[in-house]
A = this chain, B = another copy of it.
Amino acid sequence: MVKVKKARIQDVALEAGVSMMTVSRVLNQDPKVSDSTRSKVLAVAEQLQYRPNESARRLASNKSYLIGLLYDNPSDAYISQFLLSALKSCRTKGFHLVVDEADKNIEKTLQSVKDLINETKVDGMILLPPVCEQKEIIDCLQDANVPFVRVAPDSQLTISPYICMDDYQAAFDLTEMLIKQGHNKIGHIIGDANQGVSRLRYQGYLDALRSNKINTPPEYIEQGCFTYQSGMIAAKKMLALKDKPSAIFAANDDMAAAVISIAQNQGINVPNDLSVVGFDDTTLATVVWPNITTVRQPIDEMAKLAVSLFTTNKVKDFTDLKSNQLRNILDFKIIQRESSKPIE
């Protein structure tokens, strides 16, 4: 292999006829550089294919260029998608991700977070749900003055930005879509009672019915807990009713998949006799048959945004963020697939 010597900051400086400091300033987007100097440096850097040496930068600046990511449940497709996207974002910006799993024992998790701060010296932390609700962890980060972002949190904080989608609106839209397709007997399986999104999705469902003046018997609403099994139990009850719903909106894909399975088991054709819709657009939605109509969470974008909050130097410290900068609500999308169809 022919080894091409990598250009150093010195090489760029020499070639551009400026000092190393000036090059460094340009690269770090310091505004105090004249435009002419800036463009010259940029041109030379481009020409020499200069890439800063990350280790030297880290060592000299005493910044880690490391972002911590704390997650809860490793079996969730959500996590892996978020992770993959975050990893990709980090890579393009010269950062690395230090991933840590929260322990059931909050004390252990806390210790782990402290290690992340003291030893690894992360520049910031990304908190996934539901760890992002843990008061102890939030306090710890705040005490240590480590900026953090919370993803899909249940509660809002004024000290830290959060990233989420509008679960309420998505549930509203999804329900209204069913209504527009002629369904007026729509059941709902509520998600885990301990998660804020369950409440929001349920409320969106209710309000869509209300604004379309549709009355729904209480038997059409069942409490689930986001698991396949809880979906089966709920589906069995709902499909045993004399007056069955023509559509069931399950608060996530796992429960929707369970509904489909139970329906098929009872000889109820999906989607001809029963429309089923889910939420999240996890891999499960396209792995079962018929594929599930669902709401796509913008997970990739969420991860990208979370990372960029740390990698862009715009905001050194989250404490000076204005309230409108704290909110980052991303767009969702309803994905129509084969598990639902209009009433004929």
With A77-B77, A264-B265 as contacts: A287 and B289 at CB distance below 8 Å? no
Q: Please tell me if the beta carbons of B87 and A144 are within 8 angstroms of each other in the complex.
A: no
> Which of chain B's residues have a CB closer than 8 A to the CB of A53?
59
Q: Please tell me if the beta carbons of B288 and A261 are within 8 angstroms of each other in the complex.
A: yes
Which residues of A76-111 have CB atoms within 8 Å of chain B's CB atoms? Answer: 77, 79-81, 83-84, 87-88, 91, 96-101
Which residues of A89-140 have CB atoms within 8 Å of chain B's CB atoms? Answer: 91, 96-101, 118-120
Q: Please tell me if the beta carbons of B232 and A289 are within 8 angstroms of each other in the complex.
A: yes
- How many residues of A sit at the interface, in one of the four size bands? 35 or more
- Report which of B1, B83, B120, B254 forms a contact with A143, defined as CB distance below 8 A: B1
A228→B284 CA distance, assembly (Å): 10
> Which of chain B's residues have a CB closer than 8 A to the CB of A55?
54-56, 58-59, 64
A100→B283 CA distance, assembly (Å): 20
With A84-B99, A264-B264 as contacts: A144 and B59 at CB distance below 8 Å? no
Q: Please tell me if the beta carbons of A145 and B1 are within 8 angstroms of each other in the complex.
A: yes
Tell which of A53, A55, A97, A119 has the most Cβ of chain B within 10 Å: A55
Q: Please tell me if the beta carbons of B264 and A261 are within 8 angstroms of each other in the complex.
A: yes
Copies of this chain, tallied across the complex: 2
Q: 17 additional contacts, CB 8 Å, given A74-B81, A74-B84, A96-B96?
A: A4-B118, A51-B119, A55-B59, A59-B59, A74-B80, A79-B80, A80-B84, A84-B101, A87-B97, A87-B99, A91-B100, A228-B287, A228-B289, A229-B289, A232-B289, A261-B288, A284-B287
A302 at the B interface (CB under 8 A): no
> Which of chain B's residues have a CB closer than 8 A to the CB of A51?
119
Tell which of A254, A284, A289 has the most Cβ of chain B within 10 Å: A289
Q: Which 5 A-B pairs have the closest CB atoms?
A: A80-B80, A55-B58, A55-B59, A264-B265, A96-B96
Nearest B residue to A66, CB-CB: B96
A75 at the B interface (CB under 8 A): yes
Q: Please tell me if the beta carbons of A1 and B144 are within 8 angstroms of each other in the complex.
A: yes
- Report which of B96, B144, B261 forms a contact with A261, defined as CB distance below 8 A: B261
> Which of chain B's residues have a CB closer than 8 A to the CB of A74?
80-81, 84
Nearest B residue to A260, CB-CB: B261
> Which of chain B's residues have a CB closer than 8 A to the CB of A98?
91, 96
Q: Please tell me if the beta carbons of B288 and A228 are within 8 angstroms of each other in the complex.
A: yes
A284→B77 CA distance, assembly (Å): 11
A258 at the B interface (CB under 8 A): yes
Q: Please tell me if the beta carbons of A254 and B59 are within 8 angstroms of each other in the complex.
A: no
- Report which of B83, B143, B284 forms a contact with A80, defined as CB distance below 8 A: B83
A258→B289 CA distance, assembly (Å): 8
Q: Please tell me if the beta carbons of A91 and B99 are within 8 angstroms of each other in the complex.
A: yes
Contact string against B for A residues 287-331, beta-carbon threshold 8 Å, 1 for contact and 0 otherwise: 111000000000000000000000000000000000000000000
